[in-house]
A = this chain, B = another copy of it.
Amino acid sequence: MSVSSPESSACVPIELGERSYEIRIGPGLLDLASTWQGLPRAATALIVTNDRVGPLYLERLRTQLQPHFGRIDAVVLPDGEQHKSASSLDAVIDHLLASASDRKTVLFALGGGVIGDLAGFAAAIYMRGVPFVQVPTTLLAQVDSSVGGKTAINHPRGKNMVGAFYQPIRVVADLDTLDTLPPRELSAGLAEIIKYGPIADAAFLDWIEHNLDALLDRDKATLAYAVKRSCEIKAWVVGQDERESGLRAILNFGHTFGHAIETGLGYGAWLHGEAVGCGMVLASELSARLGLMPASFVDRMQRLIERARLPVLAPALGLDRYLELMQVDKKNEDGEIRFVVIEGLGKAVMRTASKTLIAETLAAHLDPSPMAVQQTDH
């Protein structure tokens, strides 16, 4: 199969009534004057970024925004999930107030998911809401944070515990920013792209299998289609369930096992996308053991995830620890652990599973290495 779209640029309209916006996808968008036209005019703008992305792109973004705003400030936070915190949020709010930013001020989030979630939440609550533009610079943020309007900060007691549903007015996914992405983070982004195949679009799964090498080579046209199709599928799911009451849960395919692995190893040992990659292997195995999919589907998913340079063996945390970690998942009801499983290619459903079935599922993909828990270099 050839690449479905030879275009290296794309635009995904997100239809949400008066909160509708566009996701612009393509190489070179950051330095293109037209990318920044049509935004609301304001006296001030604030760019929120981190100390890894800022040195690469902050001044280039500032140059492009110069004609549109009287004053453009920046808040540069330290890089890392631990800075998605109340104190970082305070720093952004304090800066807005100190610079006398009014209700028309436009916030720009330049960075990955941490910056997007944090700056988006600041935009949601400053003066009860100011306009907000996402400029995601990781593959994960481009496919995952661009759609859905989830913003949040972490709390010492839990991730994403304080936040808001708040939509950006535009998303600019410049594919050139992926050139500087470390290989592990590219693979982590691919995990979320792979996810959209089995849960919603069998043809997209075929397409990913045929184009994975080009994605790993960061070919722009191939990336453009992968980001576009992922955003379209997510928009379709979220459009039917904006506030996360039902269908939207299928976006968590691979995440129940994945979150357990992330927490069990300690945050930072595996990237979120790596844990989701391994979690999808386990969730596929569970789908097969529930009789919903043939064993060949598990092999297919495992092969693809491995080719994407993602881990496919579950760390040996012990069954009880896995059960304990999955017990606290937000999707659970009445104390039963609920999983997103595949019921025919392109269709996901929620199912509970017995302790025995979970044990068998884990055993089928367990890392035999006694050092698995410590292993972070894969």
Contacts and interface: CB of A to CB of B under 8 A. Distances in A.
Interface of A: 86, 90, 93-94, 97-98, 102-103, 121, 124-129, 150-152, 155, 157-158, 160-165, 243, 330
Given A128-B150, A128-B152, A157-B98, A162 B93 contact: yes
Contact of A97 (B150, B155, B330): B155
Contact of A129 (B86, B103, B164): B164
Contacts of A93: 155, 161-162
A126 B162 contact: yes
Tell me if A's interface is mostly helix, strand, loop or mixed: mixed
Contacts of A243: 129
Given A103-B330, A330-B103, A127 B157 contact: no
A99 to B, nearest CB: 11
Most B-side CB within 10 Å, residue of A86, A126, A128: A128
Given A86-B90, A124-B164, A129-B165, 20 more contacts: A93-B155, A97-B157, A97-B158, A97-B161, A98-B157, A121-B125, A125-B125, A125-B162, A126-B161, A126-B162, A127-B161, A127-B162, A127-B163, A128-B150, A128-B151, A128-B152, A128-B160, A128-B165, A129-B243, A164-B164
A128 B164 contact: yes
Contacts of A152: 128
Given A103-B330, A330-B103, A163 B98 contact: no
Contacts of A103: 330
Contacts of A121: 125
A162 B161 CA distance: 18
A3 B164 CA distance: 44
A163 B166 CA distance: 13
Contacts of A150: 128
A271 B124 CA distance: 30
A93 B152 CA distance: 14
A102 B158 CA distance: 12
A241 to B, nearest CB: 13
A166 to B, nearest CB: 9
A128 B163 contact: yes
A103 B248 CA distance: 15
Contacts of A126: 161-162
A129 B162 CA distance: 9
Contacts of A94: 157
Contacts of A164: 124-125, 128-129, 164
Contacts of A102: 330
Nearest to A158: B97
Nearest to A155: B97
A169 to B, nearest CB: 13
Contacts of A127: 161-163
| A125, A126, A155, A165 interface centre (most CB from chain B within 10 Å) | A125
A102 B161 CA distance: 10
A124 B98 CA distance: 25
A104 B30 CA distance: 41
A52 B231 CA distance: 51
A160 to B, nearest CB: 8
A304 B373 CA distance: 76
Kindly name the residue among A93, A127, A165 whose own CB sees the greatest number of chain B CB atoms within 10 A. Answer: A127
A90 B160 CA distance: 15
B155 A125 contact: no
A25 to B, nearest CB: 26
Query: What 5 pairs between A and B have smallest CB-CB spacing?
Result: A97-B157, A128-B163, A125-B162, A128-B165, A128-B164
